[in-house]
């Protein structure tokens, strides 16, 4: 059986990759993908703790997170399409003003 | 039923103020007069019922509701009619109604909305005055007290487009405020001392006390109240507003001088006769102020040239008489003079209004003369009024003035009596100077020079050449028309009153004095008060008078009659026969003449001592200093702090998503770090 610590390390690595993606990439879609990676890192943590404690709470939370993440992805992508129609760009630095 | 008396004029005010501009003149003016007549009818009915009661118990009360209830202090909005207020409501509604009727004709040149505005103010004035005289405690009286101040401001400044009129309105209001402030303090002092504001309860509480020998709480309280009275009733030092009040329409002057407003102070002292009776120090001050005001105003009246101004100073002078009477403890005599004065002063003012009306706004008596033939009704009624105020035997003013002088003498104030007699001489002289200059002699208004300066100066030259009788020059003589019926009838009624009003107080059978006497004593301790109150509180015309001997009264009466007739004779000699004598006298004492003509420079002294310092402190200190630097500085400082802070903070709002995410991350790491390693 794989100890809890390994799961957490993998999760931390995944989270760090996601964070780095959010900060370093200049493409909105990639950023959204990075956010998904971060979410899944958190999911992995929940599931791992749930298994370690022998409860289902972690899995239930994970389902919620997946549901919200699906909704978030839908809304996020819709906004990205909307933005792209305005500026022909996916670079977040092109959208620093509150209105134009 | 009592509440109906002030309610009727108030109703007239509400209707005229809200709908007046859409009503034709006959409706708005008629309504205003009608409500006054209704109020007068109710007053007569009330007094009728009052007269049916036993002499000692003549009191009627109506409590509308409890105004203030705080702990054991309960104050009701109560109206109370007793002999004193019965006289006042008759004067206010009776004379007031006549003035309203007169005004319907006098003001007919105003446009509809102005006309309605005028009558709404007039009604409101009467309503407040009625609240003042009917109020059963200091606070209800104070509502009326402030209300008449407001209305005098509105009416004096009625023609507010004219700078002098709005200034005069301001002056009246501000000077009155000074008095009102003292009045409030006096009321508070009374409350602190007695724990009640009800006049009857105060009187009952005061009656058993010994009159204050030295200056104490009662003296201070009454003195403060008296300062309030000097404001309302135009006595030294606050009389300066009354002569300027001439800027208002003439019927307003009549209303202020005769029926409302200036009588308030006299009434207030009469209402608190027991209280004032226990403060001999204050009483002495009241008497001295009254006498000196009478004399001072009389001397000023002697040289003024504006017909209304002469009358204004005569009012100040007559009010001085009333305060003299109050001050020597002859409350009945003071109220008697108030009542007769209402008739002849209303008559004189309305008569002068008729003259001004006939001359299209001319007020300078030097430009008048010889009006007797053109204005017979005005002349004869004005003459009766002048005879009455001069104190010619048989007319109203004679009885009341004589009673005051007699009481003054009988109470041992010989010096004040001499001043009173001297003033009586002055009164007769300046009143008949007015009569002779206005109605007798050569008609100097026919002078070919451009006559009345007040009216339509612009259209005068152009019309002069071709248009026949216009409003100036020769045209004036043929244009003279006596008062229209509404005005003339009022003048005649008032003239009758000026002749007959005095007969309710004939020496020996002083019905008015006997009627009023209970009002000047504490009701529930009537039996005690006579012995305990002592001379000043004894009050009532019947007080020392009857005992002092009729012989003395008779001889004093002869003296004052002779003085009155001498005054008229003097005026006749100077201004009818040898007019150049007056100029010669003025030339002989140029300093004195200028002093009188400029009203003892009181206005200038007040301006230098009070107005200018306040103005300088306000402008340089309060405005340029406190307002600009401290208050504006605080406001602007707050704004610039917010402004500077914002311009720093807006740098943070870059709009870059990554920067936001970075700050988020750093924040989370810091918080987590804090909890992990603390």
Please tell me the least confidently modeled range out of B318-322, B325-329, B528-532, B620-624.
B528-532
Q: Show which of residues 3-22 on chain A sit within 8 Å of chain B, judged by CB atoms.
A: 19, 22
Q: What is the mean pLDDT of residues B338-367?
A: 89
Q: Could you read off the pLDDT of B654-666 as tens digits, one per residue?
A: 777 788 888 888 9
Give the C-alpha separation, A73 to A87, whole Å: 21
Q: What percent of chain A has pLDDT over 70?
A: 99
Residue B672 has a pLDDT of 94
Please tell me the least confidently modeled range out of B11-25, B510-524, B644-658, B664-678.
B510-524
Residue B459 has a pLDDT of 35
Kindly list the residues from chain B whose CB atom is less than 8 angstroms away from the CB atom of residue A96.
Answer: 654-656
ipTM tops 0.90: no
User: Is B664 in the A-facing interface, judged by CB distances under 8 Å?
Assistant: no
Q: What is the mean pLDDT of residues B226-249?
A: 90
Give the C-alpha separation, B168 to B174, whole Å: 10
* Residue B237 preceded by cis peptide, ω within 30: yes
Q: How far is B661 from chain A (nearest CA, A)?
A: 8
Q: Which two tokens stand for residue B269?
A: 């002292």
- DSSP-derived 3-state class of residue A90: coil
Q: Mark yes or no for CB contact A92/B657 under 8 Å.
A: yes
Closest CA in chain B for residue A26: B658
Question: What is the value of pTM for the model shown?
Answer: 0.77
Give the C-alpha separation, A69 to A49, whole Å: 20
Residue A100 has a pLDDT of 66
Residue B368 is classified by DSSP as -
User: Is B642 in the A-facing interface, judged by CB distances under 8 Å?
Assistant: no
Q: What percent of chain A has pLDDT over 90?
A: 70
Please tell me the least confidently modeled range out of B10-24, B299-313, B526-540, B621-635.
B526-540
Residue B447 has pLDDT above 60, yes or no: no
Q: Mark yes or no for CB contact B656/A93 under 8 Å.
A: yes
Domain A4-94 has CATH 1.10.287.3510: yes
Q: How far is B637 from chain A (nearest CA, A)?
A: 30
CB B266 within 8 A of CB B323: yes
Give the C-alpha separation, B122 to B135, whole Å: 20
- Residue-range domain boundaries for chain A: 4-94
User: Is B666 in the A-facing interface, judged by CB distances under 8 Å?
Assistant: no
Kindly list the residues from chain B whose CB atom is less than 8 angstroms away from the CB atom of residue A97.
Answer: 655
Neighbours of B468 (CB within 10 A): 8
Could you tell me which of B120, B240, B99 has the C-alpha nearest to residue B176? Answer: B240
Please tell me the least confidently modeled range out of B120-124, B335-339, B477-481, B670-674.
B477-481
Closest CA in chain A for residue B663: A23
Residue B354 has pLDDT above 50, yes or no: yes
Please tell me the least confidently modeled range out of B71-85, B122-136, B570-584.
B570-584
Q: How far is A1 from chain B (nearest CA, A)?
A: 29
Residue B529 has a pLDDT of 37
User: Is A25 in the B-facing interface, judged by CB distances under 8 Å?
Assistant: no
**H or E segment and range at residue B506:** strand B505-506
Could you tell me which of B332, B45, B81, B329 has the C-alpha nearest to residue B200? Answer: B81
Residue position matching structure tokens 């209830």: B69
Residue position matching structure tokens 């209707």: B15
Closest CA in chain B for residue A21: B658
Residue A70 has pLDDT above 90, yes or no: yes
Q: How far is B658 from chain A (nearest CA, A)?
A: 6
SS (H, E, C) B300-323: HHCCCCEHHHHHHHHHHHHHHHHH
Residue A74 has pLDDT above 50, yes or no: yes
């Amino acid at each position: 059986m794989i100890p809890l610590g390994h799961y957490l390390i993998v999760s931390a690595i995944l989270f760090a990759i996601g964070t780095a993606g959010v900060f370093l990439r200049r493409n909105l879609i990639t950023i959204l993908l990075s956010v998904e990676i971060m979410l899944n890192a958190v999911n992995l943590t929940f599931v791992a703790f749930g298994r370690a404690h022998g409860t289902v709470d972690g899995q239930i939370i994970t389902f919620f997170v997946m549901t919200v993440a699906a909704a978030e992805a839908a809304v996020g992508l819709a906004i990205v399409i909307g933005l792209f129609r305005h500026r022909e760009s996916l670079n977040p630095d092109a959208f620093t003003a509150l209105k134009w | 039923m009592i509440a109906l008396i002030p309610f009727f004029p108030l109703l007239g005010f509400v209707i005229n103020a809200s709908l007046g501009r859409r009503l034709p003149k006959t409706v708005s003016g008629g309504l205003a007069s009608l409500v006054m007549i209704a109020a007068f009818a109710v007053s007569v009915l009330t007094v009728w019922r009052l007269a049916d009661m036993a002499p000692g118990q003549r009191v009627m009360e109506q409590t509308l509701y409890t105004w203030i209830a705080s702990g054991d202090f309960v104050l009701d909005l109560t109206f109370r009619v007793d002999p004193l207020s019965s006289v006042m409501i008759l004067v206010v509604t009776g004379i007031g109604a006549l003035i309203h009727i007169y005004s319907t004709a006098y003001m007919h040149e105003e446009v509809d909305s102005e006309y309605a505005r005028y009558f709404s103010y007039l009604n409101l004035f009467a309503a407040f005055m009625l609240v003042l005289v009917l109020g059963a405690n200091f606070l209800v009286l104070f509502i009326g007290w402030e209300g008449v101040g407001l209305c005098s401001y509105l009416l004096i400044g009625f023609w507010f487009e004219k700078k002098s009129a709005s200034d005069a309105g301001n002056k009246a209001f501000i000077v009155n405020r000074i008095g009102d402030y003292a009045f409030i303090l006096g009321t508070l002092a009374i409350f602190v001392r007695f724990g009640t504001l009800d006049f009857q309860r105060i009187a009952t509480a005061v009656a058993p006390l010994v009159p204050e020998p030295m200056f104490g709480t009662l003296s201070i309280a009454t003195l403060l109240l008296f300062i309030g009275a000097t404001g309302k009733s135009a006595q030294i030092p606050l009389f300066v507003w009354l002569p300027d009040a001439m800027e208002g329409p003439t019927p307003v002057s009549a209303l202020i001088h005769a029926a409302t407003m200036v009588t308030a102070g006299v009434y207030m002292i009469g209402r608190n006769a027991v209280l004032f009776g226990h403060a001999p120090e204050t009483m002495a001050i009241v008497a001295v102020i009254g006498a000196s005001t009478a004399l001072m105003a009389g001397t000023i009246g002697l040289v003024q040239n504006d017909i209304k101004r002469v009358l204004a100073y005569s009012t100040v002078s007559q009010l001085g008489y009333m305060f003299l009477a109050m001050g020597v403890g002859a409350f009945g005599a003071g109220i008697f003079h108030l009542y007769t004065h209402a008739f002849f002063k209303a008559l004189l003012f309305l008569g002068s209004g008729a003259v001004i009306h006939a001359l299209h706004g001319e007020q300078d008596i030097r430009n008048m003369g010889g009006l007797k033939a053109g204005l017979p009704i005005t002349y004869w009624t004005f003459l009766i009024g002048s005879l009455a105020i001069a104190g010619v035997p048989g007319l109203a003013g004679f009885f009341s003035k004589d009673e005051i002088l007699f009481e003054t003498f009988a109470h041992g104030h010989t010096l004040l009596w001499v001043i009173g007699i001297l003033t009586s001489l002055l009164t007769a002289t300046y009143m008949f100077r007015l009569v002779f200059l206005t109605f007798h002699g050569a008609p100097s208004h026919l002078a070919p020079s451009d006559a009345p300066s007040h009216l339509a100066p612009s259209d005068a030259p152009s019309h002069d050449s071709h248009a026949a009788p216009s409003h100036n020059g020769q045209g004036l003589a043929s244009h003279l028309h006596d008062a229209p019926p509404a005005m003339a009838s009022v003048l005649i009624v008032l003239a009758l009153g000026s002749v007959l009003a005095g007969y309710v107080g004939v020496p020996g059978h002083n019905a008015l004095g006997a009627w009023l006497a209970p009002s000047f004593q504490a009701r529930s301790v009537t039996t005690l008060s006579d012995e305990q109150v002592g001379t000043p509180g004894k009050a009532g015309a019947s007080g020392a008078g009857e005992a002092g001997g009729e012989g003395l009264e008779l001889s004093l009466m002869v003296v004052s009659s002779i003085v009155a007739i001498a005054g008229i004779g003097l005026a006749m000699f100077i201004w009818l026969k040898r007019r150049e004598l007056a100029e010669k006298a003025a030339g002989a004492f140029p300093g004195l003449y200028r002093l009188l003509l400029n009203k003892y420079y009181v206005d200038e002294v007040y301006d230098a001592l009070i107005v200018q310092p306040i103005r300088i402190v306000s402008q340089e200190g309060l405005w340029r200093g406190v307002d600009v630097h401290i208050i504006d500085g605080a406001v602007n400082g707050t704004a610039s702090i917010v402004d500077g802070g914002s311009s720093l903070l807006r740098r943070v709002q870059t709009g870059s998503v990554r920067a936001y995410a970075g700050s988020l991350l750093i924040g989370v790491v810091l918080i987590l770090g804090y909890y992990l390693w603390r």
